[in-house]
Amino acid sequence: MERIREIDPMLYGFFKDESLELGERIAMALVEFARTCDISFDRSYFPCFEFASKTTRFSFSDSLSYNWNSIPSLIEEHPELADELNVLGQKLKNLEEKKSILRDARYHVKADAQAIWGGGWGGHSNPDYGRLVNIGTEGVRAKIAECKKLGNPDSDWFYRACEMIMDAFDILGERFLELARSLAATETDPKIKKYYEDAARAFEVVPKKPAYDFVSAAHSFSLHFVADGNDSPGRFDQYMWRAWELTENKDEARDAIERLWENFHDRRSWNLCLAGSDENWNDESNELTYEILRIAREKKYQTPNITLRVHRNTPEVLWDAITDTLASGIGMPALYNDDVVCPALEKIGIPDYDSHDYCMNGCNQIDIFGKSHMGLEDGEVNFAKCLEYALHNGVNDMNGNQDSIPTGDLRNAETYEEVERAFLEQMEYLTYLACNSANNAQHARANYGPNPLRSCFIDGCLEKGIDYRNGGPLYGHGQILSEGMPDTGDSLWAIKKLVFIEKKYTMAQLIDALCANFEGYDELHHDFKNCEKFGNDIPEVDDITARINNRFFQILKRNHTYRGGIYTGGCSTFSRAAGYGANTAALPNGKKKGESLLADSIAATPGCDTHGPTSLIKSVLKYDHVEAGSGFVFQNKFDKKIFNTEKGRESFKALAKAFFAGGGQQYTVTVVSREELLDAMENPDAHRDLIVRVGGYSAYFVQLDRGLQENVIARTFLEV
């Protein structure tokens, strides 16, 4: 094994003692690799390294993954080790296959049909990055020692693994200290030399001890952030505030933030959360909040995702900074309403002192900072596909397969209630499959992908002596997302009105028309396509859309997660809306088979809201946002001319405040002109920096596929 240590230290560390528990072996692999991995300072002069060798790779989503396919190349380089490497390669393969048996039990027909998915990946969470910054590895070691005394049974291996993670951080810190000193000694550029000297001074203290100013905090944070895999920074302005206050030279602190921002952008970091309230509704924004908004406006990057929490006591000066930042056209910050999110979390058993510590990860999934493993987007249900199955008795009209349960031939339905009942049966069945599939994946990762690194930085794990993946965090709820609710509500209302109220058509005629993709049914298609749509403050269609979504939330809460919580719902369409639309057959809202246009948030299907922003908001507020335990995305597009005037900005603020006062949870905004978007489709090179909001993230418009570009353009431009 000593020769293996020379060529792949991480592989050596993992197989050094196979009698140990898997979590302890993973920690040992990280320690071994920390001693020898390539380290450097990135272009922002912060720590740069990666826990990845030819055969193994550590990441926040998969913990340690095993690449046995790389073994032949190692054997080619070291033929004398062929026998030993082949044995290790087979063991890696066996481990990966065990993990995948459960993880990949995902009801492939339903997933391939784009009706549902569940547990497709390990997901995000928000470890407490402030722990290393503010108490150091010595403080974490003291916490481990304290928790050991609690007498948790069969947890000795777990605590040893956590201690080894601290060893890995200390080793890396010592190595970066020596690297910074050597680089400073040879650097001739005074500015760069100072960066290295500052890094050396920082690593004389961190990560073992608390950071003493913002620069040292930035180095400590970066060490943890990179080791963990560049996930979501979480409540950055809160846990970095102590270091900011300790810094006398604020220019140096501002320079460090700007360099960190380059670092976030280079690494495609996920979600950074700002401001918010405490459990007594005191505002928690601070000087750092405003600095970050300033940098975001100036840099105009599409990453990281920035979310900002507003509430009943958000100061007007912060609202002004929000509006200024949105006016820059970056589609950020996304706004979340504490007055809705906190009660939603409290309804599922999270006390107010923790509910007010929520933040977002990934695109817009809700987590409790440093206390949960729940905001990771466990799965999704396509409402439009559920309706398709209901109308065709469980048959997928795209391929003719019986992909879902039979719920009855609706050609002879005598009441609208029969149609809605069939839809709800399909939705309940497919929601159950999504939850079950997600639980299979959670089970697999708990058993074959423990994460001792995150276990050190999420409350509950050390106290219980249980891994982050296996129920250790204080909160283990889950989040299943929804897609195509407005399209489905529009379709159900059209059926109710045209078939059962006006009796202009029969269900048999409608289903025949759908099967024919409306060919030869021009009048029917015209009537159904032009029937009233969600998003225009029309009670009949709004009530149906809200009712089916609220029922989805009720169904979810009957399902428990493997991690030890319950499922809640949300709507974070990411970039999937166009794909779902293309894989959904003809619908009674007038959509034809294969058309990609599908609602990309809880708002109206793009282009269907024609009565202005007030009507749209009234429709969207028919949903029960307090039942949404994940991000419930309300996405609007405003013409940039509105944000170019003081009156326009004040009108936007009034609109947003009215939405939140009415019970809205989340609000995202794109500020751009329609002419820009159209020109960007034809002349992409002239618009490389044009940013739009897509579901839960901002993206460069020209990098989106054509179907998604068309969805964005179809979204109504609002005037206020």
| HEC-encoded secondary structure of 281-328 | CCECCCHHHHHHHHHHHHHCCCCCEEEEEECCCCCHHHHHHHHHHHHC
Kind of pairing between the strands at 635-638 and 305-310: unpaired
How confident is the model at residue 377, as a pLDDT?
A: 83
**pTM for the model:** 0.93
Kind of pairing between the strands at 358-361 and 305-310: unpaired
Q: What is the pLDDT of residues 571-610, one digit of tens each?
A: 976 678 888 999 999 999 999 998 998 998 899 998 899 9
Query: What does the domain layout of the chain look like in residue ranges?
Result: 2-109, 379-633
Q: Using an 8 Å Cβ cutoff, are 497 and 542 in contact?
A: no
Give the contacts of 268 (CB within 8 A, at least 6 positions apart).
230, 303
Cis status, amide bond into 333, omega within 30 of 0:
yes
The tokens for 608 are 């269907």
Q: Which of 380, 354, 285 is nearest to 630 (CA)?
A: 380
CA distance 301 to 204: 33
Relative orientation angle of helices 214-228 and 250-266, to the nearest 10 degrees: 10
First and final CA of the chain: distance in angstroms?
A: 69
* Amino acid present at 500: F
Q: Using an 8 Å Cβ cutoff, are 255 and 285 in contact?
A: no
* Amino acid present at 255: D
CA distance 221 to 260: 10
Burial class (CB in 10 A: 0-12, 13-18, 19+), 77: exposed
CA distance 341 to 337: 6
3-state secondary structure of 518: coil
Residues in a beta bridge with 39: none
Neighbours of 21 (CB within 10 A): 17
CA distance 125 to 454: 9
How confident is the model at residue 504, as a pLDDT?
A: 98
3-state secondary structure of 367: strand
Neighbours of 67 (CB within 10 A): 16
The tokens for 82 are 């062929």
pLDDT lower than 70: segments of the chain: 101-111, 573-574, 673, 687, 689, 691-698, 713-720
Residue 600 Cα distances to 175, 385, 483, 484, 633, angstroms = 47, 15, 7, 7, 9
CA distance 86 to 25: 20
CA distance 491 to 527: 12
Neighbours of 400 (CB within 10 A): 9
Q: What is the pLDDT of residues 558-571, one digit of tens each?
A: 999 999 999 999 99
CA distance 117 to 437: 8
Helix (H) or strand (E) holding 273: strand 271-275
CA distance 608 to 595: 15
CA distance 561 to 676: 45
Neighbours of 473 (CB within 10 A): 30
How confident is the model at residue 230, as a pLDDT?
A: 93
How confident is the model at residue 459, as a pLDDT?
A: 98
* Amino acid present at 522: D
CA distance 240 to 222: 12
DSSP assignment letter at 719: -
The tokens for 160 are 């040893």
Q: Which of 42, 41, 63 is nearest to 52 (CA)?
A: 63
Token pair 């399902």 is found at 559
